[in-house]
Structure formats: C-alpha cells, structure tokens
Amino acid sequence: MWNYVLSPHDAAEEFRAFDQRICFIGHSHFPGAFELRDGDIRYARTEEVPLADGARYIVNVPSVGQPRDGDPRAGYAIYDSERGVVQQIRLEYDVEAAMRRIREADLPAFLAERLRWGE
C-alpha cells in the first residue's frame, strides 16, 4: 500500500517499493518530484524535471481538478523519454463555471470554494 509522498522521509520509504527509474504518483494534488541520487533525496517543484543518468524519481503529477498546492489552475504532466524530462503543465480554466456545476450537483460547498484558492 502506498501512502501520500509529501516529504523526503516519505519518499525514502516509497523508493524501496519499486525498482524502476521513475514512478508517477498522484492523489495528494501537490505536484513535485523527488530525486534519489547517490543516496541523497532532493525535492523540487519545477515546471521541468530533467532526469539525470543514474538517478531515480518519484513524480507527483499535478491535479486536473481540486489542486491543493495554492495554484487553482488545472494541471497534468508529460513524460518525454526522448529528451529525458518530465514537464509539469498548468493551465487556466473557467473556475467559476466549475464551481457552479459543483453547487448544482449538491456536492459539499467546500469542494467548490477550494477550487478558487487551489487548496
């Protein structure tokens, strides 16, 4: 079972759970990448993650909906294996319309409000 990976400590445990070079995760709605190189774990929140030779990665992809990182824009990731990078993409969308649809569906009001703030 995987847990939320929000810190280098969390990442250290999860790196032991797989052998591949890169693992894509989500669900925390908090994008970023953990890099394991020479026994050290580094964390970055950058638009582009260059994949270094000899390193392993846990990439937490952005959220298309309900982001939790303070950025209300929708997000997704592109893995470019030829260039050896992961791009974290964010884009604007009609947040007010999405909020209206959440309310119309009688979902909890906080789900609509958090869209505006990305929290």
Predicted TM-score of the model (pTM): 0.87
Distances in Å between the Cα of 22 and the Cα atoms of 26, 51, 55 are 13, 9, 9
pLDDT in tens, 40-84: 999 999 999 999 999 999 999 998 878 888 888 999 999 999 999
Categorise residue 24: left if φ over 0, alpha if ψ from -120 to 50, beta otherwise: beta
Distances in Å between the Cα of 84 and the Cα atoms of 20, 60, 107 are 15, 17, 41
Would you say 28 and 3 are in contact if contact means Cβ atoms under 8 Å apart?
no
Domain 8-117, CATH number (from 3.30.470.20, 3.60.21.10, 3.40.50.1370, 3.40.50.1400): 3.60.21.10
Domain ranges across the chain = 8-117
Would you say 52 and 95 are in contact if contact means Cβ atoms under 8 Å apart?
no
pLDDT in tens, 84-110: 999 999 999 999 999 999 999 999 999
